[in-house]
Amino acid sequence: MSYAEDIAKWRQQRAQAQIVDRCNQIRQEYGQAQRERDQAIADNDMETAEFRDQDCQQLEQEWAQYNPPQQQVHPEWQNWLRRNSNFIEREGQRGVNAVTGALAYMQRRRTTSNNPAHTGLGMTPQQIFSKQGLDKLEDLLELHGPQFYGVRFDKDEKALTPDEARDASGLDTKSYNAAYYQLRAQGRVK
């Protein structure tokens, strides 16, 4: 490492430490402003309560700059990814590209073009992450994956749902759950 790289790394570490310190200060300041605001409300001192609430809002905004909210993953999408993990693992980046391309096609607006790169289904994210939308994604991957992305998608490769696994085992729900938790305790399943 060169001297300039060492200095850059040192500066980055200092900046990160300053952010951590400021976040700790924000927590303390926010707690204090919140207590003072609530006490002012209890004392019917609405002017002070308003000033302290403005302090709370400013601290919330500053906190959000350092700690942006994490984007939530749609539960249906999370389930789809889990059930189709064999496809993603087998195909790797090509599989990811195929899914990304199919999703882009599903969202693009319909046009009069016959070129699939310029047309689409015009679906909203709410439509895509429905059962019917995800079934359409699978249809696209199965029909067009080999042609456009060189991947093979097979709907029959999906991992079983817990209910499907229970039914396949021939056990009742209570026995199946007991066996599952025993295997999980042994580290044999996730």
The owner of tokens 């400021």 is 22
The predicted-structure confidence for 113-163, as pLDDT tens digits, reads as follows: 777 667 888 899 999 999 999 999 999 999 999 998 999 999 888 887 788
User: How many CB atoms lie under 10 A from the CB of residue 25?
Assistant: 12
For helices 75-83 and 131-149, angle between their N-to-C axes, nearest 10 degrees: 50
The rounded percent of the chain whose pLDDT value lies above 70 is 98
Q: Give the global pTM.
A: 0.54
- pLDDT value of residue 37: 92
d(CA 179, CA 190): 13
The predicted-structure confidence for 10-41, as pLDDT tens digits, reads as follows: 999 998 999 999 999 999 999 999 999 999 99
The predicted-structure confidence for 165-178, as pLDDT tens digits, reads as follows: 888 888 888 888 88
Q: Map out the domains of the chain as residue ranges.
A: 3-66, 75-159, 160-190
- Burial degree of 51 (CB within 10 A; 0-12, 13-18, 19+): middle
- pLDDT value of residue 168: 85
- pLDDT value of residue 133: 94
DSSP for 158-189 reads PPPPHHHHHHHHT--HHHHHHHHHHHHHTTS-
DSSP for 17-71 reads HHHHHHHHHHHHHHHHHHHHHHHHHHTT-HHHHHHHHHHHHHHHHHHHHHSPPPP
